[in-house]
Structure formats: C-alpha cells, structure tokens
Structure 1
C-alpha cells in the first residue's frame, strides 16, 4: 500500500463542491469513480478508492490548485496514471501532478496554510464573459474603502462572525495577508491564512463590499470580528477560487 498526492484544478460550476454527496455531482465522486476504474481494470480483486481532500468547497467554487491523497496499490508509471485520469475525467477537471508521499501524509491535516482568491467583475456593460467565474457587481463601490477595511482582518482573530453561525468551536484563524489586484473592471482579492472556516472568505469579501457600498459601518465590521453577531453579507460562490495549498 502506498500513498499518492494528487494536485488538480477544476471549474466548480457544474458540481456541488468537493465532498461526496449522494445523487448529485461532486469533484470527489468524479475522481474516485475514474480512479477506481483505472486502478482496478482487469484485476480480479478490486480495491476501494477513498480520496482525502485538502478542503471542502461549496457548490460553484473553483480551484486553481486542489490537493487530495489516496492510499492504494498501483504498479504502473505515474505519468500513465495522470494521462489516463485526464482522459477519463470531464474537461472541467484536470490533474496536474501525482507523486508518492509518506504513508502518514494527510492532505487536509498536514496543510500549513491556504490562499484563496476572490474575483469581482464590475459589470457596467452586462458582459457575458464572467457569468460563472466571478461575482458580478452592479452597485457603485468604493474600492479604496474595500482596501481600507481589509486591514481589520489581518492577524490572529476570532472569525466565528464570518461563518454559518456563532458556534462554540475554535474560530481563531491567522490571516497572513490580503492583497488586491486591480485590472478594472476585474478585481482579484487574495487572502492567505493558516485555516479557514466555512463561508469565511465569502463573508469577508461580502462584508468588505457592503462597507464599500455604504450599507454597513465600521462598527458593524468590528462587531463581526468580535463575534458579537454573524455577518450575513455573503459574496457569491462563483467568484471564489482555492489558489494554493502549502505543506
């Protein structure tokens, strides 16, 4: 038995996230199904394939780099496996690298930090090109205010106010940096942290947007950061990309 680390990218538009769910398409469903067929082809005893993902992703979220690992027996060249997988997988999922790693490696628990990017498209001309690949913004937005408020999120903070609900679990995350790449009308926000809570990036971006549009005050943002209340300002899933996982 060996442990293999896979690096893939995908467009999440047609999937209900990474994690397996019955009766709906997910990325995990696709990779496990195709791996099972390739690895067990012409073998009398079939081995079970279980892919451990580095993160959950919500429906419609994309990935530039997503990592998962699988423990299995495989006696052929890894380049053959990569080519076979890319031939079998849908065109919106691509395998970029496969390598053998120590048996104890776990793509989720061994991750040191992750970088997400969020794409905003300020759609003044109703462009068709970013419908599923960025959040379309129609309201007047002060980008300077978005950048100004982003500094409040840096450092070791309690982000329970930016997840689904105020829970008792540990909500502390260390946000290492937040940067803006402006190529108007496209704006990319990059966020790197040691860990992320569910909906955290989307609610951070949604909160920054609402502040920049004059819908909430800086006091509201501070209340969210002190976990006094939960932000319901959630940016859409289609603008979110997992960019990099660090080990």
Structure 2
C-alpha cells in the first residue's frame, strides 16, 4: 500500500489520470492526498470531482482557494463569469449536490502520518497544533448551513492583513482562510502580502516566502503544500514540499510518495 500526495489538479482530469496510471494507483490498496485546488481553470472539473467522490474512502484532501470559490458560487455568494464554464458544468450537473456536499466537508489542514498538508502554507507564528485548531474553526463553520452561507458571503478580501487572536466572526474566518489558502509572502509576524505572486526571490521589505522565516514554528515539521506554481516545485527548505508544478499552465502534475518522499510527475499537455 502506498500514499501519494498530489499538487493542484485544477480540473486537469486527463493529466490526473495519466499520473495515476504512471503511479500504478490501485484504489483497493493505495491512498491519495490532495493539496487543494482540485477544480477550476482546467477543462474537466466535473470528472475530477466525480472520480474523487467515487474513491472518497481512499482520498484525503484539503480545500484550496479555487475549491472554496466553487462552493461560494454554489451558495450564491458570487456569480459565474463567462470564463468559468468549467465550474458551470459542475453546478448544473445532476449529481452536483452530493459532489459539493463532499467537497465542503473537507478541512483546510490535515496532520497525520508525520506530515501536515495545507493548500498554501502555515504562517511563521503558528505551530502545527495551532494550525489544526484554527482549521477546525472554519471546518465547523462549513458544517452549519447558516454559518456556511455567512462565511462564503464574507470570505473574499485581503483584510485583515495580520493575524490577531482577538478577531471574531467572519473576519476571523476570512483571516484563517487567507493564510491557509492564499498566502505566499508574509513577514515574520504574519503580515500578509496577498498581491505578489512571482517566485520566491520576489520578497521585499521584510516580506519573505512563508517557509523561509528562520524562526518559523513549523521548521521541524514536514509540510506538504500546493498553490504556488511559480516555485516550480522547489521550496529549497528542509521539510517543506512544494507540490504545485503548474499543470494548468502547461507544466506538470506532481505526486510525492510519502513513504520514501520520491517524486513522480507527468506532462500536462492537454
């Protein structure tokens, strides 16, 4: 039995199937960990979700910003744009309710088997224990219909720029969500730059990649993350594994086998 952690699929269903074939993945034996952004921008988010739902007993997933956007659309918090035809197919599918219900049940952080998986990262001032606790707050909100609706309507926005333990309500949930699903650059105290999206060398004025702060509380923990395609799979930091290698942009889809930390990839020409 093997467990494979896979970066952002983003609806690239055919490359996903090719990667599983390369891994010789067997759902009766192997497990999949998905680092978020399972949907959006690719050509077949619906088939991707259907496959994951069918094999949900073998799947461990965290939510990414694009997954949350799909759920926000489903809750009426945002309107579809002309460029979101792939997501429209999901929302209009006969089995949309069960697929989206499954998606909404996924957490923002998973910690087991000696690894912690999150879509974007964990800011320097939070330990893994703290991250799991805060992830649970959002998970609980998503488990309640009224709270979930308020959450999605208030989810969008870059503020507050820095964490404060005294934050409450939707503002608190938005802050947690931004760290776990949108963060790239931040200061040591967690102040976020949610605008800069280039590679790790684009840091400025004390803003550094979240994983490069020397006093980061998770520096001794193994962290799997996606989200940052510009890294091209290279965080160059011990215990930090960047899994988003830009499949949707014509790059690669990457998997890491947890048992020996070996990487596998497949070309994402569509």
User: Structure 2 length as normaliser, TM-score?
Assistant: 0.25
Structure having the higher helix fraction is: 2
Which has the larger strand fraction? 1
Radius of gyration: which is bigger?
1
